[in-house]
Structure 1
Amino acid sequence: MATEATEELYRVRDTYFPTDPADKASKIQTLADAALAQLDSIPLEQRKSPQQRAMLEFLKGKILDVKLNPSLVDAWLCLGNCIWKKGDLISAKSCFTHALSKGSNKKVLCQLSMLERSMSQGKEDQATLVDESIKHAKEAANKYLENYERALHRFEAAASQDPSLGGDEEVRKIINVLDKLDNSVKVRNKRLASTALNLSEVRLEPAYKKATVNSLSEGINSGAAVLAKVLLFIKHDNIAPLYYLLCDSNMCCFILSVFGLQFEAVREGDNVTLLGPYYRAVDVSWKGKHYQFKLIRVDFAEQILVNGNRPSLRHVARASIISQNKS
C-alpha cells in the first residue's frame, strides 16, 4: 500500500496541472501526509530485516523529496541518505551532488565525504575516490568550524587508504589550529581588565542590544551585539578563516573566526562589534586531547564593526573561501 501511495504522489506531481498552483500544492501535501502515515503504521514485524528497513527509508525519502520541494537541499540530502541505505551508492552520490548544486552545505559535504570513502572500498579507482573524499572533508572543515572532529576522522580514514594523498598532513593542520586556539583562550594576564573597560564607550545601532558571550545561545543570535577587544591574531597554516583571540566586557575570552575579510581589516587592539553573532561552544576530543573554547564566526563583512565602522571595501576578500581552498 505504501508503494502504491508513493507512486500516486509522483503521478500527481508529474501529471496534475490545475489552473491554481495552490491546488496542486495542497493535493501533494495531503497525499504525502497520507503516504507517510501508511509507512508509520507498518507493524514492527515487517521492519526487522535490513532490506525491509532500507525500503521503508527509501520510500520515506521519496515522499519527503516531493513534499519538501525538490529544490531544497534538505530534501535531496534525505533522499540521498535513504538511497544509500538501500545500497545504491551511485544514485546516492548523485543526490548529494545535486544538493550541493543548490549551495554549499556542511551536512551534505560530510555525507558525500563518507559515501565516497565507502565507494572506494574494493574499487580500482580507489585513489581518485579517496582524493575526492579528502577534498570534501577539507571543504567542510575549513568553512564550517564545528566539523573539526568529523573532518579529523575523515582525513585519518583517507590516510589509512592511501598515505600519499596527504590525509595525515591535513590532520596535523587541524590539530595545530585546535592547539593554538585552545591555548590562546587559556592565556590570562593582568592587561585583560584594562583593555575590556573601554568597551562601554562603543555606541550600538538601534536594532541591536548589547550582549556578552556567556549570554549567547548556540547558533545565530539575531538582534544581539557583542562588544569585544582584539587581543591577539592567531597565525595558522590555512588561508581561511582568520582567527583572533578576543575579550568581551565581562572579560570572557573567546575565539573569533572571520571569513570574507583580509588580514588588514581587523588588528590587535581594535574594538569590534559583532552583530547577530553565530556562536558555538567548541568541544572536541581527539586521541587523548580535549579542546574546549567559545567561538563566534563572522561569515560576511556586514556582521562586524571595527572601531565602530564597517570594514572598508578594500579589506573585503574578493575570492571565495572554497576557491581558495581548492587552489
Structure 2
Amino acid sequence: MAEEERVSSPLDQAVAFVDELYHFRDHFVDRFGLDRAGDKETEVQKMMGECLTKVESLQGDIKNKAQYHLLRGRILNVTSKYSQEAEEALTKAVKLDPRLVEAWNHLGECYWKKEDVSAAKNCFTGALGHSKNKVSLRNLSMVLRQLSGPPVEKVKLIEESVERAKEAVQLDITDGRSWLILGNAYLCEFFSSGQIPKVLKQCMQAYSQAEKDPVARGNPDLHFNRAMTYKYQEDYQKALDGFSIASQLDPSWMEAKVKETELLNYLLDIQKMIELKGKMKPRKIESLLSSLSDRDLGPHAGGQYTNKTGNVVSLSQCKLAELQPKVNYGKVVVGKVVCSINSTDLVPFAFCLIDADKMCVAVTVYNLAQGAGMKIGDSVAIPEPVMKKVKVSHKGTEISFSSIQVDSPRCLVVNGRKLGINKEALTVLSVSAVSE
C-alpha cells in the first residue's frame, strides 16, 4: 500500500507526464516513420501544451517547489526553440535547490538555444560540480567547441571537448547522443590537428555507434555531419543519402536541402565538363597537348619522388587510362588543365586534366590556399595518384566519372615546378552544432 501511494503521488504523476512527453519527442521518427518526420515539431508542441496543463493542475499538490519549476521548465524546453518561460522556470528551480543537476542541464540547454555560449558553459560546469553525469559532459563538449579564441587556444578547447565527450560515453556506452557528440568532437579535432586519418576513423566509428540508438538516429545532425564527412572522403553516394535523410528528418532545415542540391549539381557539372573536355575546341586541345614534354614532370622527370613519409620512391610515367581505382604506387601522370569546376564550396579545388591520349579526368585538390588554384593551360604532374571511380544514383539521376584525389598541393608539379608550403592551407569543415 505504501508503495502504491509513493508511485501515485502528485510529484510522481507529474514526472511521468514529462517523461512521456520526452519519450514521444525522442522516439517520434522511430514510432511514426520518416514520412511523418515533418509533423514532429507540431505534434510535440501540441503534446507540450497538454502536458503543461496536466502538471500545472498539480501545482498545489506538489510540495517540492524546486521540482515543480524543474518539471515546468523541462516541458517548456522540449522543442528546439528558445523559450524565455523555460529559462525563468529553470532559474527558479536552481535558486530554490542549487543541487538540482537536471535543472542546471536544462538551463544550460536554454542558454545554448539563446546562443549565450558562456552562460551555457557555466551551467554545465556547475552541474558537474555537484555530480558527474553524461548530459553535462556531452553538453560541455559541445559548448567548448563553440568558444572563441586564438588558434592555439581553439585546438586546446577541441581536445578538451573530445575528452569530455569520451567521459560521457564511458558513463553510458548505449547512449547514442553521447556517441554523436563524440563523433562531432573527433571531426573538429581531425580538421584542427593536421588531419590525422586515425582521428577521422574514430569519428566515423562514433557515428556508427550513435546510429544504433533510435534517439540519435532520429537526429538530423547525425546524418548531416556524417554526410559532410562522406563528401570530404568523396563517398558521394553516402553524402547525398545523408543530406537527404537530414532534410527529411527536419524539413524546415534548408541547409541540408541546399547541400544536397549543390552536391548533385556539382557532380553533374564535373561529369559534363569531363565529357566535353572542358568545352575546349579540338584545335585548342591539340595545341595544348603538343607542348607537353618531360620538363612538365619537373623534379619527377628523373624517375624519383619523395613521398609524404619522407621516403624516396621510384616513379614511372603512365597514361590516365592505365590508372587503377586505388593508390597507384610508383606511377606519375601528367596532363593539361582544360577547365576548373565551379563550386559553392572552396574545398576542394577541382579541375579537369587531359593527357596526351586525350583522356580527361577530374582532379580534386584539398588544403589548397585560396587563390592558388590551377589555370587553364597549366601542365600538372601528379605522383602516385589516387584514382576513384565515382558512381552515383540519386533520385533518378545517374552520374559516373573518374577522379583523382589529391590530399595536399605540395605533391603537385605545376608547369615544371613543385608547389611549395605557401600553396597549402588546412581545410576547415563546417559542423552543425545547433541542436546536437
Alignment of 1:86-235 (within 5 A): 89=176, 103-104=196-197, 109-110=203-204, 112-113=206-207, 116=210, 119=213, 121=215, 129-141=219-231, 143-145=232-234, 147-165=235-253, 166-188=255-277, 189-190=281-282, 191-202=284-295, 203=297, 204-207=301-304, 208-235=315-342
1:41 corresponds to: none
User: Partner letter of residue 251 of structure 2?
Assistant: P
1:239 corresponds to: 346
Q: Which runs of 5+ in 1 are unaligned?
A: 1-85
TM-score scaled by length of structure 1:
0.62
User: Partner letter of residue 290 of structure 1?
Assistant: E
| Contact preservation (8 Å) 2:409, 2:423 | no
Q: Which runs of 5+ in 2 are unaligned?
A: 1-172, 191-195, 305-314
For 1:122 and 1:91, locate their aligned partners in 2 and report how far apart those are by CA, in whole Å. 9
2:424 corresponds to: 316
CA deviation map 1:44-82 (0-9, x unaligned): xxxxxxxxxxxxxxxxxxxxxxxxxxxxxxxxxxxxxxx
- Partner-residue secondary structure (3-state), 1:159: helix
RMSD of aligned residue pairs (Cα, Å): 3.2
For 1:116 and 1:137, locate their aligned partners in 2 and report how far apart those are by CA, in whole Å. 14
For 1:305 and 1:279, locate their aligned partners in 2 and report how far apart those are by CA, in whole Å. 17
* Residues 1:286 and 2:394 are matched in the alignment: yes
Please report how far the alpha carbon of residue 163 of structure 1 lies from its aligned counterpart in structure 2 after TM superposition: 2.1
Q: Which of the pair has more CA radius of gyration? A: 2
1:305 corresponds to: 413
1:49 corresponds to: none
Q: Call closer, same or farther: CA 1:197–1:281 in 2, change over 3 Å.
A: farther
- Partner-residue secondary structure (3-state), 2:339: strand
For 2:377 and 2:411, locate their aligned partners in 1 and report how far apart those are by CA, in whole Å. 19
User: Partner letter of residue 252 of structure 2?
Assistant: S
Please report how far the alpha carbon of residue 94 of structure 1 lies from its aligned counterpart in structure 2 after TM superposition: 8.2
Q: Call closer, same or farther: CA 1:107–1:246 in 2, change over 3 Å.
A: same
Q: Call closer, same or farther: CA 1:294–1:187 in 2, change over 3 Å.
A: same
For 1:133 and 1:293, locate their aligned partners in 2 and report how far apart those are by CA, in whole Å. 25
User: Partner letter of residue 427 of structure 2?
Assistant: I
Instruction: Work out the number of aligned pairs and report it.
Output: 235
For 2:256 and 2:385, locate their aligned partners in 1 and report how far apart those are by CA, in whole Å. 32
Q: Call closer, same or farther: CA 1:169–1:283 in 2, change over 3 Å.
A: same
